[in-house]
Structure 1
Amino acid sequence: MKKYQVFVSSTYQDLVGEREQAIKAILEMGHIPVGMEMFSAADEEQWKIIARQIDEIDYYVLIVAHRYGSVTAEGVGYTEKEYDYAVEKGVPILGFVIDDSAPWPRDLCETEAKALQRLTRFKSKVKSRLVNFWSNKDDLHGKLSIALMKAITANPRTGWTRADQVTGAEVTKELTRLSSENASLREQLDAVRKKEETQHDEVRSAIKVLNANKRKLAARTQDKPRWEDVEPVTVTLADVFHWVAKNLLVENSSAEVGKNIALHLVGTKYVQNHPIGVNIVTDILADFAALDLVEPSKKKHPVSDSARYWSLTKLGKQVLKEFRRVLLEEGIKAADSITEEA
């Protein structure tokens, strides 16, 4: 059997007995009453809690007598605010307004003119929908029970059901589907993790090889254009890769790769026509290709363009990324060191 949450809304001090009867009627039917007795009506934070409760309920019961109740800073009663919010949220509303001819203690009636006006307007708003009129708490108890039973029949809501009562082929099918989907997602996640670990190992291996291999390189300059006049410098392939890689993110020609190397060896004074030996540049690019760091560019060029173009592979981009990350971290450490010295 489904259990429904039923919110009981009313002014409080004048309707304590009536609220008790309403809650008793709901409990007798096996449902869950939600009362706001524990919340302070004037506390804005408590209003957020009340609103959240209304968001989750199945039915809304409003009991109105002869008091309007405390008001918000905007001049709207909290009971009316709850009612308006329930209407806005489309919650089925069961309204119970006291019969004007029913006897009622005078000290539980509004006497202040402004409050009376607000109460009259509020009752008119509530009566614009189908309502029940009650004369005492016992009468309210009976009419609420009947009205709630009709509302559940005419407008069944989601409600609550015990987990051990939710059985059947559809539930089993859904649980099986979710279990299968969960297993598939786990497999995909494991595959992604293994792929990331493999890529990380490949990056570390490539960097290790680059650092371990050294080359003697020389660049011709404007004041020393002859090969026999230039002195070679020993560098690692890691140095050379870092010098040229950023210009290979899209593509670069072999000739321009040679100029990139020359720029880092001798600065801007290198000669424009093959500052690095063509065979040397070819060997370096072949070494990078052997490590799967570069590949021939896939971009199309005019037939008249006889230059050979290269670009980074996926692994090459990962290696460049690692180089740049290390440099950035070293820059942070250097900056921290300067700050400490200052």
Structure 2
Amino acid sequence: MDTKYQVFISSTYVDLKEQREQVVKTVLRMGHLPVGMEMFDAADDSQWETIKRHINNSDYYLLIIAHRYGSEDSDGMGFTEKEYSYALEQNIPCIAFMIDNSIKDWHNDFIDSGKQKKKLDKFKARFKNKLVNFWTSKDNLALQVSHSLSTLITNNPRIGWVRANKATTSPLVAEEISRLSKENNELKILLSENNKPDEIEEVKNILLNIKYKIKYSTDHEYKTIDCLSIFILVGPGLVTEISNFHYYNHVDSIVAGIEIEDDMSNIFEENYQNEIREISISITQNLSMLDLISSRKVDKSTHWTLTTKGKLLLTRIKHGSTASTIDNNK
């Protein structure tokens, strides 16, 4: 099957415009799909949210570094470094191309100094113990990209994209359709009137009796919440499969009583972060043991989703009634 891969191209922009154009052409000649910030339309989303969405949809991440650190987000970190860190967190195969120090013919306007240079040097230092490619010209860079990206694709095959008429005949698609059909039949059986109603009721009662004492961020007061209430909030986000990173940020935000989807590391003190994560891990263990959620490995990372029983419990709660409680200051 002719698979096309989406390649996210990251770099500072003005100083590397010609090099980026050459790399984009190279990726296109290889038959793949280049993506970069210059290709995005303005939207209501914040710039960082837009970047993350495109990185999440990419199969590979390609980084080009010269002598500028680049524009920074509100947290003080450059977008280029932030993109690289995020791609690593998502376990997306990354490949870096750094300008060779022997190149002296470089415009002074495109060479950082002072605070920006210190940030750039610190960023470059992250590659000391990693495989990095050094380029000397835009043509040399294009040649290296062609060779290194081909090797990366061979050694780290990803899902990629295929034409719709070919995708429907794929064994993987057929397998997924079969799995979903089986799950649909299981749900129909479980939803029938005579199908073990006591089992689901028993699970609800178990969840009601599992309680957590949580210090909410909104008012800094301790409250007691049962696991059923937490499951009602967590469950809808697991109807479709999500990554381990997004799963724990989702659960952490519910435990903390806030609405966020990003990394919480810059929001709370370390002790509070640890307290939140310990509760989230305990919740996960209980929901897993009751067969309400399950995990599987996808490209060396863990993904989470609701089980058939979990979907059934949510459906019953939605169409029925359940007693879940939050007690203040207990």
TM-score (norm: length of structure 2): 0.51
Q: How much has 1:186 moved relative to structure 2?
A: 7.1
Larger helix proportion, structure 1 or 2? 1
Equivalent in the alignment of 1:3: 4
Q: Is 1:146 aligned to residue 147 of structure 2?
A: yes
C-alpha distance in 2 between matches for 1:24 and 1:112: 31
Equivalent in the alignment of 1:126: 127
* Kept after mapping to 1: 8 A contact 2:69/2:112: no
Q: How much has 1:87 moved relative to structure 2?
A: 1.4
Q: Which runs of 5+ in 1 are unaligned?
A: 193-342
Q: Flag the 1:39–1:69 CA change in 2: closer, same or farther, 3 A.
A: farther
C-alpha distance in 2 between matches for 1:164 and 1:18: 35
Q: Flag the 1:187–1:91 CA change in 2: closer, same or farther, 3 A.
A: closer
Q: How much has 1:104 moved relative to structure 2?
A: 3.2
* Kept after mapping to 2: 8 A contact 1:11/1:67: yes
Q: How much has 1:7 moved relative to structure 2?
A: 0.3
Equivalent in the alignment of 1:54: 55
Q: Deviations over 1:265-313 (max 9, x none)?
A: xxxxxxxxxxxxxxxxxxxxxxxxxxxxxxxxxxxxxxxxxxxxxxxxx
Equivalent in the alignment of 1:25: 26
* Kept after mapping to 2: 8 A contact 1:68/1:77: yes
Q: What is the SS of the residue equivalent to 1:133? A: strand
Q: How much has 1:18 moved relative to structure 2?
A: 0.4
Equivalent residue letter for 2:127: V
Q: What is the SS of the residue equivalent to 1:24? A: helix
Q: Select the structure with the greater relative contact order (CA < 8 A; seq sep ≥ 6).
A: 2
Q: Flag the 1:5–1:177 CA change in 2: closer, same or farther, 3 A.
A: closer
Q: Flag the 1:66–1:34 CA change in 2: closer, same or farther, 3 A.
A: same
Equivalent residue letter for 1:28: R
Equivalent in the alignment of 1:114: 115
TM-score (norm: length of structure 1): 0.50
Q: How much has 1:105 moved relative to structure 2?
A: 2.5
Equivalent in the alignment of 2:297: none
Equivalent in the alignment of 1:156: 157
C-alpha distance in 2 between matches for 1:52 and 1:119: 25
C-alpha distance in 2 between matches for 1:8 and 1:170: 28
Q: RMSD over aligned Cα, in angstroms? A: 2.8
Q: Is 1:102 aligned to residue 99 of structure 2?
A: no
* Kept after mapping to 2: 8 A contact 1:40/1:46: no
Alignment of 1:116-265 (within 5 A): 116-166=117-167, 167=169, 171-172=173-174, 175=177, 178-179=180-181
Q: Which runs of 5+ in 2 are unaligned?
A: 194-330
Number of residue equivalences: 190
Q: How much has 1:107 moved relative to structure 2?
A: 2.6
C-alpha distance in 2 between matches for 1:64 and 1:186: 55
Q: Deviations over 1:74-96 (max 9, x none)?
A: 32211111111111221111100
Q: Flag the 1:120–1:179 CA change in 2: closer, same or farther, 3 A.
A: closer
